[in-house]
Amino acid sequence: MRNSKGFTLVELLVAMSIFIIIMIMAGNAFERVLSTAGQQSRSAQSNFEGVVGLEMLRYDIEHAGYGVATEFNNYTSDIKFKNLGGTADQELVAAANVPLDGFNSTTLNARRAKNIQPIAAGTSTKEVNHTAVANAAGGPDYLVIRSTVSSLDDSARKWSYVNYSTDSSSNNLSEMKLWDYGPNLTSNDRIIAIRDRFIDGKEQKTLLLNGTDGFELSLTASGAMPAGEYFKPTSKEDMVVLYGVRSAADSALRMPYNRTDYYVTRPASGMPTHCNPGTGVLYKSLVSHATGGFDTAYPLLDCIADMQVEFEYDPNDNGMIVPLDPIGLTEKTADDMRLHLKNVRIYILTHEGKMDKSYRYPGDSIHVGNRRNGTSSGRTLSASEMNSLFTSDWRKYRWKIYTMVIRPKNLAQ
């Protein structure tokens, strides 16, 4: 006979309780898996963005000074920048726009024709979130790079050289080297010409002018050099190199190179939600040839809390490195930099992924700089300063420092 006995209410309650407990445990485990997966995904994305953005910074520092003259031909006074933006003889116009709160970027303007610094730097008096500096060492640093290739314009990647001709008044197409592979300079490019010589063992790069103050060279429609001798070698010993600066479709050249500024600030809107509310964005901005202000800023890396810049300087070329802060470097002449600047060290404080409530940052302070040089390098943010700048939840972020040691390859070291 079949047993028709059922379950008691107690048995059902026990079974249901066990089932609910198992489901809760499984749900909690799944929630932790999702949280970890999201954190790891965001961390991987942060690392990828860091590689791409910092590679652009590395490239510009390595090419600092590329296509930048050491002097102007028959011209030793203050630089005469093109008066395209309404203010004469200024590399960067203060009134055009200010990219970084707490720092006047016009203080790093080039002024002397024989002292166009390939690299310059300064320190902000405001933090990334626009508040007053929380540290005696100052706020984030500001970096300026001068070269012809720091622009994203395709013309800035072109170059050539001019062969010596006994008839300098001609505009024979064969005078300028044309490449079998790769882009050639054309009438669609705005170009400068630099005569490269070695005098007493020292390289001399002279920007050639058109007889007045003009430094812009325009090729003919067929791609030939212009008639006349202004932008050509005057002897067989001369080497004249042509550098593309920007497209001819854009305005005339304000300066015979491109100036690129790097800085960290928090935008008024559009900040990624996963970033700590006290962090900002690392930007690359180019000075506009048309206005003397800044063109559109390029965001390179999110969630940046600080950037410190240090320079390795060898004054006697004996391997005894002297670390310089931004002020120390900017006080050096362009010639000093070309001869003695060995490396540029960049320290960028950021965090991986988003806030993780289950994580606790182990340290009580964060040093953004070279630890071997102690407090003289960069700055140390204490726990109270981190709390003030990045809220009381700052320990729930995985803070990390990107350290870059970059050797400028276009100086005369």
**Residue 141 near residue 326 (C-beta atoms within 8 A):** yes
- With a cut of 90, say whether residue 167 has pLDDT above it: no
Q: How many other CB atoms are found less than 10 A from the CB of residue 322?
A: 13
Q: What is the pLDDT of residue 96?
A: 59
Q: What is the pLDDT of residue 83?
A: 44
Mean pLDDT of the chain: 84
If pLDDT is split at 50, 70 and 90, which confidence band does 40 have? low
In 25-148, where do the E strands start and end? 71-72, 119-123, 141-147
Cα–Cα distance measured from residue 159 to residue 196, given in angstroms and rounded to the nearest whole number = 14
Q: What is the pLDDT of residue 383?
A: 95
Closest CA to 67 of 411, 413, 342: 411
Using only C-alpha atoms, the chain has a radius of gyration, in whole angstroms, of: 29
Q: What is the mean pLDDT of residues 257-282?
A: 94
Each domain of the chain, given as residue ranges in start order, spans 46-152+255-406, 154-247
- With a cut of 60, say whether residue 122 has pLDDT above it: yes
Q: What is the mean pLDDT of residues 164-182?
A: 68
Torsion of CA 155, 160, 164, 169, to 10 degrees: -20
**Residue 113 near residue 376 (C-beta atoms within 8 A):** no
If pLDDT is split at 50, 70 and 90, which confidence band does 51 have? confident
- Say which range, 42-51, 151-160, 291-300, 358-367, has the weakest mean pLDDT: 42-51
Cα–Cα distance measured from residue 390 to residue 29, given in angstroms and rounded to the nearest whole number = 30
Cα–Cα distance measured from residue 269 to residue 328, given in angstroms and rounded to the nearest whole number = 35
If pLDDT is split at 50, 70 and 90, which confidence band does 317 have? confident
Strand, coil or helix: what is 21?
Answer: helix
Q: What is the pLDDT of residue 173?
A: 47
Q: What is the mean pLDDT of residues 362-370?
A: 92
Output the six-digit token pair for 327: 């002020």
- With a cut of 60, say whether residue 85 has pLDDT above it: no
